[in-house]
A = this chain, B = another copy of it.
Amino acid sequence: MQFSPLLEQLIEALRCLPGVGPKTAQRMALHLLTRGRDNGKRLAKQLNEAMDHIRHCDHCRVFSETERCEICTSTYRDHHLLCIVEHPIDVAMIEQTGIYKGKYFVLLGRLSPLDGIGPEEIGISKLKSHFSQGIIKEIILATNPTIEGEATAHYIAELAKTFYIKVSRIAHGIPLGSELEYIDSHTLAHAISSRGIV
- Residues of A at under 8 Å CB distance from B? 1-7, 9-10, 12-14, 16-19, 24, 26-34, 36-37, 39-51, 53-54, 63-66, 69-70, 87-89, 92, 95-96, 108
Sample of 19 more A-B contacts, CB < 8 Å, known A14-B43, A33-B63: A1-B96, A2-B92, A4-B54, A4-B69, A6-B49, A7-B50, A9-B49, A12-B46, A13-B45, A13-B47, A16-B36, A16-B40, A19-B27, A30-B63, A30-B88, A34-B87, A37-B51, A43-B47, A44-B45
Taken together as a complex, chains A and B put the C-alpha atoms of A48 and B45 apart, in Å, by 8
Specify the chain B residue showing the minimal Cβ separation from A36.
B16
Q: Tell me, rounded to whole Å, the shortest Cβ–Cβ distance linking A58 to chain B.
A: 14
